[in-house]
Amino acid sequence: MCKTAYIFNKVEDSTSAWIQAFGCDNVVTEKAANERSRPKLRQLVRDIKSGDTLIISKLSNATRGVHEASVLLEICRLKGVRLISIEDMLDTEDVIFQLSSAQSLINIMGKLPMEVNELRRQVEIAKPKSISQPEGNVKENKLKRNVRVINMYLAGHSLRGICSQMKICRTSVYNILKRNGISKRYNISGE
């Protein structure tokens, strides 16, 4: 009969206080960098046993959409796990939060995609921008790369040499040539 709380990224102070007051045995916190894979949640769902309680701040905090929410609810039902969603005011045993009607659950599931998108937007804002390449120069850099590939090809460099030097695959070289109307040259050396 373990009480485990799952927190993605961060939660409001009131939710954190509620989790502490509920007396959770374990609090699992997932970093924003793991928004897609959620390895800690997956492990938690694998390890949770019948009679345990899983506390989440919100369904949109623990899942990435309606499909994942329904899968989580079904796993909890099949394993006999009590699920408490604090901000959604959802308790599968109706002890802490009595679900007033089916309309409440419909509202929770209906708002889920919008809340998940908002959470993703917040996570994207919090991520640092890539230092390696400024965003404004991506098209310019691709254009320069394409010109260089074409010039190397027309100068007689081998495909293997172009691929190696430009760090791209043969298919990319052929696509660049095709988009620019340059026909492939065929020779016996296997190029």
Question: Across residues 40-44, what is the average pLDDT?
Answer: 90
pLDDT digits over 47-88, tens only? 999 999 999 988 888 888 888 888 888 888 889 999 898 888
pLDDT digits over 105-145, tens only? 777 777 778 887 787 777 776 555 555 555 557 888 888 89
* Pairing assessment for the beta strands 82-85 and 90-91 based on DSSP bridges: antiparallel
pTM: 0.58
| Owner of token pair 């098209």 | 139
Q: How many CB atoms lie within 10 A of CB 19?
A: 21
pLDDT digits over 147-168, tens only? 999 889 888 899 899 999 999 9
